[in-house]
Structure 1
Amino acid sequence: MFRNSLRLFPFLFRVSVKHSELGAARPFSKSTYFQNMKIGTHDGVFHCDEVLACFMLKQLPEYKDAEIIRTRDMQKLKTCDIVVDVGAEFNHETKRYDHHQRELSSAGLIYTYYGEQVIQTIAPKECPLLPDDLRIIYKKVYENFIEEIDAIDNGVPMTDQEPKYKIRTHISNRVARLNPEWNSNLSINLDEIFKKAMKLVSEEFLYVTNNFISVWLPARDYVKSSLENRFEVHDSGQILEFKERFPWKEHLFDLETEMGIGHEIKFVLFNDKPSSWRVQAVPVSPYSFVTRKPLHKDWWGVRDEMLSEVAGIKNCIFCHSTGFIGGNTSRQGALEMAVASLKAD
């Protein structure tokens, strides 16, 4: 499956780890001024991958003011400082990135060698990403954005089976729609439309990257802290506590593996709103409703006073009919629901 291309194509991460050794970008100082830099790509119909590749390059200091030369004329391409998606050559040392790999598009190649630098330029200047966090964000942006563009550009299907419906609103399709139709006025300036396409992909790329930096990463730190303090919640170490509601499942699975904890966490407590706590069973995978251990089966589908009576726990609110989540008006009550469910057969 293409979605495992990072595992099947370890070249991508080996390159990224050593990008500074390979000279992924020329040394830059504020006193350096890069004059007349040129980024080369093909002319004619454009695609999402080279549009995104050009946008990423223009985030870097040396290419920030570079002119984009759209041509297939090899003599003109030879004058360019870096070339993407054209030229029939892939050579990092000479900065030629016409892709031949089934797994990567030209955007994937540029991201391979320059992605970490691009992300660091986007990150808040007052709080640059630490090396470990940068690596994590680099991987997540690939998996959640770049990989899709690589796959579409290389014609890699999402599944081995015929999909039941088609998605026509993805970023690659929206970029493609900017190209003039076959029967339209051919005097349209494609270079100007190319700039519009760059703006379109920039909004998507910046949203994804900033979301991982500003929203996703802090949540990861919160989950990690909760895992480290789990024995303060209950001596079993199988119950986590969060003070608020936020996306935690993906982080939990990643961190359990990184911290060597295994799959011992069974329940999560979090404050949903004033006088409302939730106890949620941990699923067997981040997107599954099948749980490692559900709430007590005798409670499924029972509510309010009746649930409190059946459970022998004050102030119960509800238990879902499949036992994956329940509620109580207090933290103590939610904790008691988790502990009782841990002990249940």
Structure 2
Amino acid sequence: MIKFEKEVTGLVPDHGFTHGAKFHADDLFSTALLRLINPDIQVERGFDVPENFGGIVYDIGRGRFDHHQQDKEIRENGVPYAAFGLLWREFGSCFLTEEEAADFDEKFIQPLDESDNTGSENTLSELMEKFNPGWDSDASYDDRFWEAETFAEKILMHYIESIQGLRRASEVVVKAMEECDGEVLILPCYVPWKRNVIGSGYQFTVYPSNRGGYSVQGVPKSKEDRSLVCDFPQEWWGCDPQELPKVSGIATARFCHPTGFLAAADTKEDAEQMARIALERR
């Protein structure tokens, strides 16, 4: 579940307005973002902003959260803002730290903003636009908009949840790194570990598998280079589960991926031993 970084009550008004008819990823994710902050917001769609409208207006009206005017805002890297990016700049700190929010903007929002501004290809943008009624359909644009918005809201919510989860995972990983030997990291449970462990000197990570038993995974050399600091013995790669204990000499060894990045055993001790043998034989 999303946790807010600050008090959000009253931050987003109870009424919003965006453009009608055909919709895009931009207005869908903009609406999703506002609804995550204020689930009670009522958003109206249309072609002219009502006179003296007191709510938040976006992707229309040439105001603070629109990008169709000649003097629209452009990021320092040259990527133009769309409504989603403008709203995220304003409200992203509700969910994430400054660094996390900037990273999310770069990886998730900027491709959508660029696609909306330039028509460049983007799979997610194209997928969201497929919710629009077909040329010969009698479906309502508004009905389809809210169907698509629900989907966008789930994507956005789960993405933000995953980033917040990475922050909590770091606490677990750092503690385990302080307690282990610098080569084989033993985690008490599975948590995302790579961003803390890559480049740390650790060469393998052992953790309980959600399939039962324990997984042991090699640490990549860097975020850009996915090859491993230390490989498992090549004769283990893709070995038949019945043969792997004989080949490896480890009683409960049950799996080694055909590409050699991941192995598994029934016990934590045997999973760790797989890593130790790999270190000895490199």
TM-score, normalization by structure 1: 0.60
3-state SS, counterpart of residue 206 of structure 1: helix
* Aligned partner of 2:205 among 268, 271, 277: 268
Cα distance, 1:142 vs. partner? 4.1
RMSD: 4.0
> What is the number of equivalent residue pairs in this alignment?
264
> 2:28, 2:152 within 8 Å by CA — same for their partners in 1?
yes
Does 2:227 align with 1:290? yes
3-state SS, counterpart of residue 217 of structure 2: strand
Does 2:156 align with 1:156? no
User: 1:274-327 deviations in whole A, cap 9, x for unaligned?
Assistant: 99433321123569762111124565546212421xxxx665545555543334
> 1:137, 1:209 within 8 Å by CA — same for their partners in 2?
no
Distance 1:45 1:337, change over 3 A: closer
Does 2:78 align with 1:115? no
> 1:289, 1:324 within 8 Å by CA — same for their partners in 2?
no
Q: Which residue of 1 aligns with 2:3?
A: none
Q: Which residue of 2 aligns with 1:238?
A: 183
Distance 1:57 1:182 in 2: 30
Distance 1:238 1:143, change over 3 A: farther
> 1:315, 1:329 within 8 Å by CA — same for their partners in 2?
yes
Q: Which residue of 2 aligns with 1:70?
A: 46
Cα distance, 1:256 vs. partner? 4.5
* Aligned partner of 2:61 among 74, 83, 87: 87
Cα distance, 1:50 vs. partner? 1.4
Distance 2:271 2:208 in 1: 10
3-state SS, counterpart of residue 157 of structure 2: helix
Q: Which residue of 2 aligns with 1:177?
A: 130
Distance 1:317 1:96, change over 3 A: closer
Q: Which residue of 1 aligns with 2:278?
A: 341
> How many percent identity over aligned positions?
20
Cα distance, 1:240 vs. partner? 0.5
Q: Which residue of 2 aligns with 1:98?
A: 67
User: 1:57-87 deviations in whole A, cap 9, x for unaligned?
Assistant: 24445x94455352246xx466454322223
3-state SS, counterpart of residue 214 of structure 2: strand
AA partner of residue 129 (structure 2): A
AA partner of residue 242 (structure 1): L
User: 1:23-44 deviations in whole A, cap 9, x for unaligned?
Assistant: xx99849xxx96xx65333333
Distance 1:44 1:242, change over 3 A: same
* Aligned partner of 1:305 among 232, 246, 253: 246
Distance 1:78 1:193, change over 3 A: farther
Distance 1:64 1:51 in 2: 16
Cα distance, 1:110 vs. partner? 0.6
Distance 1:54 1:331 in 2: 46
3-state SS, counterpart of residue 97 of structure 1: coil
Distance 1:71 1:173 in 2: 23
Q: Which residue of 1 aligns with 2:19?
A: 42
Does 2:155 align with 1:204? yes
AA partner of residue 209 (structure 1): I
TM-score, normalization by structure 2: 0.70
Distance 1:64 1:153 in 2: 27
Distance 2:129 2:211 in 1: 48
> 1:305, 1:316 within 8 Å by CA — same for their partners in 2?
no
Residues 216-235 of structure 1 aligned to structure 2 (within 5 Å): 216-231=166-181
3-state SS, counterpart of residue 116 of structure 1: helix
AA partner of residue 66 (structure 2): Y
Q: Which deviates further from its counterpart, 329-338 or 42-51?
A: 329-338
